[in-house]
Chains A and B, each alone.
Chain A
Amino acid sequence: MTTIAETGGDTAAGAPLVQVQDLEMYFPIYKGVLRRQVGSVRAVDGLSFDIRRGETLGLVGESGCGKSTCGRALLRLYEVTGGRITFEGRDIAELAGNALRDMRPRMQMIFQDPQACLNPRMTVGSIISEPLDEHHVATGEEKRQRVRELLEAVGMNPEFANRYPHEFSGGQRQRIGIARALALAPDFIVCDEPIAALDVSIQAQVVNLLQDLQEKLGLTYLFISHDLSMIRHIADRVAVMYLGKIVELAPVEELFNAPKHPYTKALLSAVPVPDPAVEAKRERIILTGDVPNPANPPAGCRFCTRCPDAIDRCSVEEPVWRNLGPAKGSNGTVEDHFVACHRVE
C-alpha cells in the first residue's frame, strides 16, 4: 500500500536534498545553410526522483542513455529545457546570475577523465585553490593552509602542491580532482564515472576514498557509472536509465536481487562475473539490436524495440512511472521501488 505521505520523501533515510521533477534536457539539431532547427535530441526526457541527504544514488545505463546529461543538468551546467530541480527547497532550474552563482559552492562535480579535467599548465596547488579564489573564500596563508588540508584529506602529500598534473599517475590525478571538488565544502557531489578511466587495482583506492569522505563530511553523491558491480558496492539506491528515461529505481539490494524491468534484468545478466563456475551455468538474456536514436525514439515504451517481453500495448502506450510499494533498503530502512513497465504486476 502506498500513500502520498510515503512517496513524498521524509522517510527514515533522511530528507531529500535534491528533488527532481519532470526534468527535460533537449539538444537542438540544426541543418541546412540557414541552420534551421529540424529536431532535437531528447537526451533526458522527463525524470523525477529525489536524492536524500547523506545517501549515494547510483545512476546506471549504457552510453548515450543520458546519465551524464542528467548529472550535468542537476548542477545547472546546462539551461534545462523543462522541469524543476529543487535543491534544499530552492528551484535552481529557474535561478540565474548571482543567485545561481551563490548556490554553486554547495554542489560540485568529479569528472571521468582525470587527465582532461586538470589544466596541465597550472600547479596542483593553484588547481585546488581556484574555486577558493573564484568565490573569495580564502586568501594568502589561509588559502595555502586549506590546500594542504585538502591534499591530506585525499591521501596525498601536502608538498605536492607545487607540482604539475603530468607528474602524477591516473589515480593520483583523480585524487586531485576530488580535492578540487571538496575545496568549497559542498553538500552534494555529482561523480560522473569517476573510476572508469582507472585500472582495477586503483579503482578500489578511489572508491574507498569517496566512501571515507562521505562518512567524514556527510556528503551526498549522485554516482554515475556503467560498472554495475561497483554501483552495487557503493550505492544506497539505484536508478536505471534507458534512452533518456529512468525505467526503474529501487534500493540497491532489491534492484540486484529482484529486478522488475526487463531492461534491468538484461543489463544485470550481461555483467560478466569473475567466477568461471558461475559464468558456466548462469542464464543470460542477450538483447538483440542496438539502442535507438534518441532524436527519434520509438513510440510507446522506449525499450519495446529490444524487449523480450514486449506486447502490442508496449509500442502504443507509454508506461507510467509507478510505485510498487515499499522494499527493504540499506541499514534496515524501508524504501520505495519504482518502475515504468506495462508487464510488471
Chain B
Amino acid sequence: MRMWIYVVRRVALIVPIIIGVMTITFVLVNALGQTAQIQAAFGNPPVHGTIHTYDPTIPCSDITPGANGTCANPLYEKYAGILGLNKPIFDRSMTFQWGDVANFSTAVKATPLGGLIKGKPVASVLSWLLPYTIELALLSLAVILAVAIPLGNLSAVYRNRPVDQASRVMSFSGYALPAFLLGSLIVLGIILALGTGHFLYTPWCSTGETGLQEITGSWPSVQQFGSCGYAGGLATNYGYPGWLTAGVISHPTGFPTIDALIHGQGWLALDTILRMLLPAMIIAFGTIAILLRFVRNSMLEVMNLDFIRTARSKGVPESTVIRRHAGRNSMNVTITVLGLLFAFFLGGFPVIEDVFSLNGVGLIITYSVQSSGGGYDFGLIFGSVLLFTFLVVAANLIVDILYAYLDPRVRLG
C-alpha cells in the first residue's frame, strides 16, 4: 500500500476510536444516575431553606409553607443545569464529550492547585499542566535511553554472563518495586536524614531551605520563594513572580524550564530540572525493564544474522561490528517502544506526581475522580480521557510510520 493512502486511512480511523472511547466513558458516568451524579460532582446537598436533597421533585411545602403537591427542587434545577442533566441524553453526551473540544466546559472542583482550576475551561487546565508532564517525560526518557541502550547491547553481547544477569536483576527490580513505595521511602529517608532545619544552602537559596522543600514541588515553595533571592515575587501571586501564576501557569510557553530561562532566571531553570531529576530517575528505574528487554532481544536477533558473520569474517573489529553493524540495525524496535513509552508517559505519572507534589496531568486525572475533595469532575474526566486517547492513537500512528520508514522491509497495511 502506498504510504500516503495508509496515513490517510489511519488518520481517518482516529475519529471512530475517539468517539468509541468517549461513548464508553459517557455510558459509565451516566450509569451513576442523576442525583448521584450531582452528589458526586458537588458533594452533599447544601442547606437551602428546608431542602436537603438533590431529588428532582420535592413536596411543595418545602418551598412555600402550607402548599401541597410536588414541586421542582430548586437545588436539583440549579446543579442539573450546570451538569446539563436536564437535557436529552444525546445532547448531554454531546455536552460532556465535546464541551472539552470546544473549550467551554469548566472544571468545577475547587480543591486541587489552590483552587486555581475552579471554573476554568478544561482545555486550559490541561494545557497548563501538560508541559510539566512533557518535561518530566522527556527527562525520564533521556535517563532511560542513556542507560538502556549501552546496557542492552552489553547484555546481548555477554549473554547469560554476569553482566547480563546483573542488568536483568537491576531492571526487573525496578519494575517490581512499587513506585509509591520507593518514592515515599526516598522522600521519607531524605526528611529523616536531613532534618527539618533550613540548611540547604544552594546558589539560588542562600538563606537555606529544608530537604523536603528542595526535593518536592515543581517550584521553590511559596514561603521559600521570596527569601531565596528572587526579586519581584508578588504578594498577590503567593510570592511567585508575575509570569508564574499561583506557581502553576507559567508564561509564555508553559514549559517551566524554558520559561525560567526566558525570564533570565538561570538558577530557577536549573532548579526545575533538579526537582524533576529524582522523580525521573525513579520513573526510569521503574520502566527501564521494558526498553532494556527489547534492546537486548533485538540485538540478539541481529547478532545471529548473516551479515554480522560476514562483517566479522572480513576482519572488522568486534567493537565496530557491535556498534555500527548490529547496534544500528537493532534500533528499529527500540524506536517503536520508545514512541509508545513516550505516549504512555504523557498520560501522566499520578503516583510520582503525588509523592513529589509535582504539577502534571497525571495528578489532575486522579483528582477528577477522587471522592475526597469534592467528588467527580465530569469536565476533567472527559477532557483527560480525550487527551489521553488522542495521545495514544497519535503515538501509535507515528510509530508505525516511523517503523516503516526505518525498515523498508515492513509492509504497511
Real complex partners, A and B? no
Where the two chains meet, the residues of A that have a C-beta atom closer than 8 Å to any C-beta of B are none
